[in-house]
Amino acid sequence: MVESTNIMHCDLDAFFASVEQLDNPSLRGKPVVVGGSIHSRGVVSTCSYEARKFGIRSAMPVAQAYRLCPRAVFLPVNMQRYLEISKQVFTILSRYSPIMEVISIDEAFLDISGCFRLFGSPEKIGCLIKEQVYSELGLTISVGISYNKFLAKLASDMDKPDGLCIITESQALKILRPLPVSKIWGVGEKTEQRLNKLGIKTIGDIQDLPPGWLEDKIGSAGRLFWELAHGIDKRAVEPEHERKSIGREETFPEDINDIVYLEKLIVQFAAELCRKLRQEGLLAGSVTIKLRDSNFKTITRSKTITPCNSDIIVTRIASDLLHHSYKNKQPLRLFGLSLGHLSPVTSLEQGSLFESQSNADYKAIDQLMDEIRDRFGPGAINRASLLPDKDIK
Ligand code: TTP
Ligand code: MG
């Protein structure tokens, strides 16, 4: 049987910490923790594999990390530098396939279906990428290869750091079987607990269920989990320019119905998404919010807009959608905001003569905030509505 393994997931190892070790050789081989200061209530962004031996992990309070390993080197986040390296890594990856989907600052999917004749087998392509990232940038990257995105991502994590792992179709079910359900995409802490209560602990437990059972219990997500548990994932690798929407969502540790918090999330998400659009020279033609309640019932509400990438306009529209659609204030487990109908900014739109004064003002504010963030990092400036209430005088 000829098995296709045409999807690759590449993810740098201990990214922020590895860049710090690269720039300062005296830190190599040492526990390095990157994140907020020990004295603030900051959290760990990431840490070197040497620090992980002490139990330190991403998102842990820095103070706790300090207790676990006081002799670790604690460093602040230098986002500008990581973005610079990240760009160079993606340039290397893009040499191997034009179909690349960047997922975060240190990971991307590649569809390598059309590249075998040029570069050789999937494994060969994985090795070439690893060698080039290491020889050109001095960083190790883990590569996972499989026949869909879910399994490729799982594979890149299986052999970290500096890994190369391939999951073929004939191995998939067996590899998935013993893993905890939390390894399934979309299963966070809350869902894991919910599944555990139904007696489902491993992916194998889901494999053994009749197809419709989980869907009956938890709704449409159940169908998706069942498919993923069987190694079925139909999502294509979507390169940036073909992407039709961008979005941000948050699953809450506890269900919430606090509209003030949701409004703050809108401000934060709108700022992040619009900044991304501006960086990529794109405009959004629609705004969509997503609300998922504790029973997994999901509603989405959209509005078509005159294409824009302004934080303020998107925030306003998303808030209006929220106020219209969230009257019964049912507890929510997830909230999301996405911007769709993306189109490139044309030179005409960039400086239109017919632009209203308020639009021009919004643009000037966005531009100024972008410049400040470019120079001083993403957290350097925020809208006042994002400050904790006690800080607003
Ligand atoms: P990850 O790829 O999740 O982590 P990592 O690269 O540090 O380690 P691994 O070897 O397991 O891949 O995230 C990439 C970067 O994103 C990470 O270096 C720091 C940042 N990050 C945060 O700031 N907060 C977080 O909670 C996580 C998970 C990552
Ligand atoms: Mg990583």
The tens digit of pLDDT for each residue in 306-332 reads 999 999 999 999 999 999 999 888 899
Q: Which domain holds residue 103?
A: 1-175
What residue owns the CA closest to ligand 1's atom 24? 45
| Apex 249 CA angle, 188 and 295, nearest 5 | 55
pTM above 0.85, yes or no: no
Rg (CA), the chain: 22
Specify whether 343 is located in the same domain as 318: yes
Confidence of residue 83 (pLDDT cuts 50, 70, 90): confident
Specify whether 321 is located in the same domain as 381: yes
Q: Is residue 234 part of a domain?
A: no
CATH of the domain at 308: 3.30.1490.100
Nearest ligand, measured from the Cα of 157? 1
Q: Is residue 384 part of a domain?
A: yes
Position 184 pLDDT exceeds 50: yes
For residue 35, report the phi and psi dihedrals to the nearest 5 degrees.
165, -165
Q: Is 107 a catalytic residue?
A: yes
Q: Is residue 325 part of a domain?
A: yes
Tell me the Ramachandran region of residue 35: left when phi exceeds 0, alpha when psi lies from -120 to 50, beta otherwise. Answer: left
CATH of the domain at 215: 1.10.150.20
Cα 192 to Cα 31: distance, rounded to the nearest angstrom: 31
Tell me the H-state helices in the chain: 15-23, 49-52, 62-68, 79-94, 116-119, 122-137, 149-158, 169-176, 189-197, 203-207, 213-218, 220-229, 259-279, 311-325, 347-350, 357-376
Three-state DSSP at 65 gives helix
Cα 252 to Cα 254: distance, rounded to the nearest angstrom: 5
Nearest ligand, measured from the Cα of 21? 1
Three-state DSSP at 335 gives strand
CATH of the domain at 19: 3.30.70.270
Segment 164-173 shows an average pLDDT of 97
Position 119 pLDDT exceeds 90: yes
What integer pLDDT is reported at residue 359 of this predicted model?
66
The tens digit of pLDDT for each residue in 256-286 reads 999 999 999 999 999 999 998 888 788 899 9
What residue owns the CA closest to ligand 1's atom 10? 13
* 298, two tokens: 């999901």
Cα 3 to Cα 294: distance, rounded to the nearest angstrom: 40
Q: Is residue 91 part of a domain?
A: yes
| Ligand 1 touching residue 13 (CB < 6 A) | yes
Number of domain units in the chain: 3
* 314, two tokens: 């998107």
